[in-house]
Amino acid sequence: MYYVYILKSLKDGSLYKGVTTDLKKRVAEHNSGQAKYSSFKKPFELAWYCAFTNKEKAYKFEKYIKIGSGFAFVNKHLI
């Protein structure tokens, strides 16, 4: 399974979006500072996730929610 996820920073309320095959491990990596990009915004809570069986579809959806109308979709319907 491929998980598209959204984390919410408990420090500043910002959102981080990503894809992983091991959701628990990835959230733990973000909260321990191992994820370089998000390390200064920890701690995080898992705000939303969706499971995909197809890798390509998961990465396409992640890209969608990071830009344009997908960004607005996240704010209106998911978070």
pLDDT digits (tens, 9 = 90+) for 27-76: 999 999 998 888 899 999 999 999 999 999 999 999 999 998 998 899 89
Model pLDDT, residue 7: 97
| End-to-end alpha carbon distance in the chain | 22
Q: Which of 59, 65, 67, 68 is nearest to 79 (CA)?
A: 65
Q: What is the pTM of this model?
A: 0.93
Model pLDDT, residue 36: 84
Q: Does domain 2-78 have CATH number 3.40.1440.10?
A: yes
79 touches 45 (CB < 8 A):
no
Model pLDDT, residue 68: 87
The domain segmentation of the chain, as residue ranges, is: 2-78
